[in-house]
Amino acid sequence: MALHVMNEANRCLGCKVPQCQKGCPIKTPIPEVIKLLKDNKLDEAGRMLFENNPLTTVCSIVCNHEKQCEGHCVLGIKGAPVHFSTIENYISSTYASKMVQGPHPSNGKKVAIVGSGPAGITIAILMARYGYDVTIFEGRDQIGGVLRYGIPEFRLPKSVIDDIQYRHLEMKKIKIRPNTRIGHAITVDDLFRDGYKAVFIGTGVWQPNALHIKGESFGHVHFGIDYLNNPDSYKLGEKVVVIGAGNAAMDVARTALRKGTRELTCFSLTKKVAASDYEFSYAKLEGVEFEYNKKPVEITDDGVIFKDVLEDENGNLTEVEGSEKLYPANSVIISISQGPRNTIAATTEGLDTNNRGLLIADETGKTTRPGIFASGDAVNGARTVVEAVAHSKVVAEEMHRYIQGLED
């Protein structure tokens, strides 16, 4: 592994204007990290990665590298780009085991973090670095949000999330209150009553989008985000239809095949799947079949009835009347993205949402109520992990300025 990593590191040209860094949403200093590794300064390289991105171990695995750092590498124009994902994963996972720093000196002020997905974890770590007494309120029994409950184990091992909890949260004395949904027994107003100087909301998007077609309530029909939460609790049978073709649908399909499904087909409304090329290629390699330009019109006890759709060069879609066909399936999984659950907004005066139910916040994370900040999927809808982390860095700084009275 180390030899392979060094081979990749030695391929780096050390560009004066690194396009790889421009392609990274969180602006990882890639050439500097690689140079430190080549100079046998692995610990310094690891420290640089974590200082820039608290979730570097996660991002090295789940980022869409083909369109970000590696997709912008100049070597990729005529050949293979430098695979920084491999380099980052080696450095960050090796250095992580050496991280033993305890909490920063307390400044005596409390901050509440609602939700422990990528945004919430990032905000918690950064606010702890400022010296705040941080408490995370998580609605489930373990931290991680989409990292733990939305990404399969074969793509992101749970041990990576467990290590983040130990190294970044527990060692820094960040408190975690599991099985606590804010907006139920405890409200945001209760948090302010108890002395929290600011509240961050990073609850993600866990409400599955429905098709609103006949048969969607049948017992053999499931939603993708629910399935990924705990796939072992489902008995899908040998033949499965997945409606949707994004990255989450690829996770659903590949998981189902690993859990015993023998035939699985993903149906896409368009002639090109929404998933990344990597995820699409892995799904095809593992046996997932694909049908394109198909619109579901009804779910039956025996499968799904689809109608053909014509697509012109501008992407306009036209249904083909009389083209309905039943595609047999033991189970049907609907994976067409998801939206927010609005419990917190409904129980918090002055906290506004848009027409999609997402929290309204400016570019620095300030919501419509002073003292409440938000970022990640709860604001932007389903996005990537690294985008949530990058935006949360900005929000953490603004929260600090707000609490310290440093706002313009």
- Confidence label for 407 from pLDDT (cuts 50, 70 and 90): low
- Checking if the pLDDT of 206 tops 90, the result is no
| Mean pLDDT of the 229-234 span | 95
- Confidence label for 2 from pLDDT (cuts 50, 70 and 90): low
- Confidence label for 18 from pLDDT (cuts 50, 70 and 90): very high
The mean of the pLDDT values for the chain is 93
- Domain residue spans in the chain? 2-96, 110-206+340-403, 209-338
pLDDT at 22: 94
- Confidence label for 408 from pLDDT (cuts 50, 70 and 90): low
CATH of domain 209-338: 3.50.50.60
Give CA–CA dist 394/392, Å, rounded: 5
- Confidence label for 224 from pLDDT (cuts 50, 70 and 90): very high
| Mean pLDDT of the 102-122 span | 91
pLDDT at 388: 92
- Confidence label for 314 from pLDDT (cuts 50, 70 and 90): confident
Distances (CA, A) of 137 to 33, 68, 124, 357: 34, 32, 11, 21
- Checking if the pLDDT of 100 tops 90, the result is no
pLDDT at 125: 94
Give CA–CA dist 173/214, Å, rounded: 51
**Which CATH superfamily does the domain covering 110-206+340-403 fall into?**
FAD/NAD(P)-binding domain (3.50.50.60)
Lowest mean pLDDT, pick from 164-178, 225-239, 277-291, 363-377: 164-178
Q: Do domains 2-96 and 110-206+340-403 have the same CATH topology?
A: no
Give CA–CA dist 108/92, Å, rounded: 31
307 contact partners, CB below 8 Å, separation of at least 6: 294, 295, 297, 319, 320, 323, 324, 325
- Confidence label for 191 from pLDDT (cuts 50, 70 and 90): very high
| Mean pLDDT of the 326-332 span | 98
| Architecture field, domain 2-96 | Orthogonal Bundle (1.10)
- Checking if the pLDDT of 172 tops 90, the result is no
- Checking if the pLDDT of 3 tops 80, the result is no
pLDDT at 166: 87
Question: What angle (nearest 5°) sits at the alpha carbon of residue 20, between those of residues 17 and 24?
Answer: 120
Q: List pLDDT tens digits, range 280-303.
A: 999 999 999 999 999 999 999 999
